[in-house]
Structure 1
Amino acid sequence: MPYPEGHKFKVRGKIIESAAQAFRTNGIRDISVPFIMKGAGLTHGGFYSHFDNKEQLVAEACRYAISDTISFLQEVADQENKGPKINAVIDYYLSTQHRDRTEMGCILPALSSEISRASDEIRQVFTNELERMIDFISDVGKIDKAKGSILLSTMVGTLVLARSVNDSKLSNNLLTAGKQHAKELIKS
């Protein structure tokens, strides 16, 4: 019996979503194709009917993860009624919820150090996606790209440090200080 129309597209999407979740949590190097396929509810034998190699999947997962993050942060911004929409984005990005839910969070803090050692193809995709994120932050903040770059760098760096320490009080203090500084950047 043939598969229904769009089946292969849906399966590919499940694989990309599983990969994005796994990479957000554990990075690229430590995640195997069988692990990703299992997370998608599939056997690893079908992987190569969807992707040429793991590198192609990494590229697709980066694109998916940034689109997912931008969509979610746009919803956060759209719900802000009292102050600047960028403040709502900053508050969520530097929240304990975002810090603790790596599997659903922004892929930038999860992969930045690892991507610096990846192939040029992967680095180009990551560069393009980083630029999309800077554009999004700049648009929501109604700031130029230079300031958007500084703001995003501050937010990503703060989140990396807050996730890295094993002292919850220090981690929370980093998030609080990061929020404060990020909001000051917008005012200046």
Structure 2
Amino acid sequence: MAWNKDHKENSKKRILDSAAKLFAHNGFKTISIDEVMQHAGLTRGAFYSHFKSKSDLYAEAILYGSQKSRQQLSNVFEVDKIVNAYLSEAHVEGEERHCPLAFLVSDINQQNQTIRDTYTTTFNSLVDKMQLSGLNREQALKQCVLMVGGVAISRALNDKSLVTELLASCKELDG
């Protein structure tokens, strides 16, 4: 019996969903192709009909995770709303969004040029979004660094009150 025309696309989406979450929470080195495929509910053999290598999957998972995060903010153009959504405790916990910018910041510098290019493109997209929301380039860069850094550091802390304080302080661009 032949697969329906959407089967391959749906399989790839399942793999990318799995990879975006697993890589974001565990990094590149600790997650295997087998783990990504098992989490996606697919066999390892299906991996190679979509990706050439684990690095190829990682780069695509970064873009995919970034696109999912952007979709949640696609109709938001006010700086304060974007900042508040990004610098939220829900985002830090990462159950719904697996932001590659904040979740993988310490993992990316150990990766190949293609993956670093993908991360750079993703960061630039966030900066562009902030500029479209009314900030000039310098303000947008500063705000993005506060947002990404705030979430990244918050994920490493084990003091909930400190996390709350840190996220609140990162919301103040002129502070």
Tell me the TM-score range normalised by the shorter chain: over 0.9
Task: Look up the SS of the partner of 2:165 in the other structure.
Answer: helix
Greater share of helix:
1
What is aligned with 1:148?
A: 140
The alignment-based identity, stated in percent, is 31
Shift of 1:130: 1.4
Contact preservation (8 Å) 2:65, 2:100: yes
Residues in 2 aligned to 1:15 and 1:149: alpha-carbon distance in whole angstroms: 32
| AA of the residue aligned to 2:142 | I
| AA of the residue aligned to 1:126 | Y
| AA of the residue aligned to 1:4 | N
Q: Residues 50-99 of structure 1: CA distance to partner in whole angstroms, max 9, x if unpaired?
A: 11100110111111111111111224x26xxxxxx111111111111111
Q: Residues 150-184 of structure 1: CA distance to partner in whole angstroms, max 9, x if unpaired?
A: 110011111111111111111111111112x23x3
Shift of 1:34: 1.0
Q: Check 1:103–1:35 CA distance in 2 against 1; reply closer, same or farther (3 A cut).
A: farther
What is aligned with 1:62?
A: 62
What is aligned with 1:158?
A: 150
1:98 aligned residue (82, 88, 91)? 91
Report how many residues are paired.
175
Shift of 1:101: 2.3
Contact preservation (8 Å) 1:94, 1:178: yes
Task: Look up the SS of the partner of 1:97 in the other structure.
Answer: helix
1:126 and 2:119 matched: yes
Residues in 2 aligned to 1:129 and 1:171: alpha-carbon distance in whole angstroms: 25
What is aligned with 1:37?
A: 37
Q: Output the TM-score relative to the length of structure 1.
A: 0.86
After the TM superposition, list the runs of 4 or more consecutive aligned residues in structure 1 that deviate by more than 6 angstroms.
none
Task: Look up the SS of the partner of 1:104 in the other structure.
Answer: coil
Q: How does 1:73-84 map to 2 (within 5 A)?
A: 73-75=73-75, 77=76
Q: Residues 90-125 of structure 1: CA distance to partner in whole angstroms, max 9, x if unpaired?
A: 111111111122562321011111111100111111
What is aligned with 1:170?
A: 162
What is aligned with 1:109?
A: 102
- Listed as ranges, the gaps of 5+ residues in structure 2 are none
| AA of the residue aligned to 2:110 | R
Residues in 2 aligned to 1:133 and 1:7: alpha-carbon distance in whole angstroms: 32
1:88 and 2:81 matched: yes
